[in-house]
Structure 1
Amino acid sequence: MRFSTLLLSAALVLFTSILFAADGEIDDAKAPATMAYYELSPSIVVNVKGRAKYIRCDVQLMTRDEAKLPAISLHAPALRHELILLLSDQQGTDIRTSKGKEKLRKIALKSLKGVMKAQVGDEMIDDLFFTTYLVQ
């Protein structure tokens, strides 16, 4: 009786260890990708319409998968080009307000996602942030 209890206890410990190990492997497979940022540099400076003369901004692009950074970097010239065209078409007075900045940020994000979709078939960019923003 004592031997069978000891054997059963040992089997239970071994079985539990195997289950925890298997569970850890499943969790590793489901682990989320690492979030990463890509800076479009140098600063973007373009003339705008209206009374304001220009906008200068620094832009950071966020992706939820660090493995996508090389593709974003490769297509950075196309992304910069799209932003330059978008920014130069803005009314300076509209993009000075908080609402105007946020609206511009959303439009720029959608536009850059479109560029990546056209280039590689995946939007890749999850968010866009202005880290410097000056309209004069």
Structure 2
Amino acid sequence: MSNKEQNTEAAAPARGGKKGLVIGLVVALVAVLGVGGYAMLRMRHGAAGGATAQAAAPKPQPAMYLPLDPPFVVNFQTKQSPSYLQVGVTLMAHDAAAIKAAKDADPVVRNALVMLFSAQSATDLATTAGKQKLRAEALKAVQKVVQERLGRPGIDALYFTSFVMQ
């Protein structure tokens, strides 16, 4: 190989190296600008104020569920014949103390719900609106029991996990 050919081959990788160097510098510049922009936004919006607000706000507790087993079975009189209602109920709260209070007062909760369910009419419960109204009334009944024991309603929701009328 001649001297001229060696110089041409040596120059080719050098040009590729310069191209790689330029790309590397561009990537580094973009990274520096990104970090700088982020820092500017944090300073503008007051990072310390945001951290204080986050620290002051309590973290929401995960939802806890309490199924009331066995399902409720009540009968109520219709014009034709006795009707039966079987309802599976689950309570939901974000407060462990409320779940414990409801569990400890299970007989009282169950009594309140049995009385409520047995006072219903089949025609009212045949509609979705009737079921939703009953669910809201059942939630209020459970919250009243928990309120008496805990000093706050505590229970956030009540769900019908099964609903069978016959």
Q: What TM-score range do you get, normalising by the shorter chain?
A: 0.7 to 0.9
Corresponding residue of 1:9: none
Which residue of the other structure, out of 96, 110, 116, is the alignment partner of 1:66? 96
CA RMSD, Structure 1 to Structure 2 (Å) = 2.4
Max radius of gyration: which structure? 2
Deviations 1:107-135 (A, max 9, x none): 11111111111233221111110010011
User: 1:29 and 1:106 mapped to 2: Cα distance?
Assistant: 29
Corresponding residue of 1:36: 64
Give the TM-score taking structure 2 as reference length.
Answer: 0.62
Q: Comparing both structures, which one devotes a greater share of its residues to helix?
A: 2
Asked whether the 8 Å contact 1:36–1:66 carries over to 2, the reply is yes
Asked whether the 8 Å contact 1:34–1:66 carries over to 2, the reply is no
Q: Indicate the larger mover: 62-71 or 90-99.
A: 62-71
- The one-letter code sitting in structure 2 at the alignment partner of 1:36 is M
Deviation >6 Å, runs of 4+: none
Number of residue pairs matched by the alignment:
118
User: 1:117 and 1:65 mapped to 2: Cα distance?
Assistant: 13
CA displacement at 1:67 relative to structure 2: 4.1
Q: Which has the higher contact order (CA 8 A, sep 6+)?
A: 1
- The one-letter code sitting in structure 2 at the alignment partner of 1:31 is K
Corresponding residue of 1:100: 130
Give the TM-score taking structure 1 as reference length.
Answer: 0.75
5+ residue gaps, structure 2, are 1-46
- Residues 1:49 and 2:73 aligned together: no
- The one-letter code sitting in structure 2 at the alignment partner of 1:82 is A
CA displacement at 1:29 relative to structure 2: 6.8
Identity %: 35
Counterparts of 1:1-136 in structure 2, within 5 Å, are 23=51, 27=55, 30-50=58-78, 51=80, 53-136=83-166
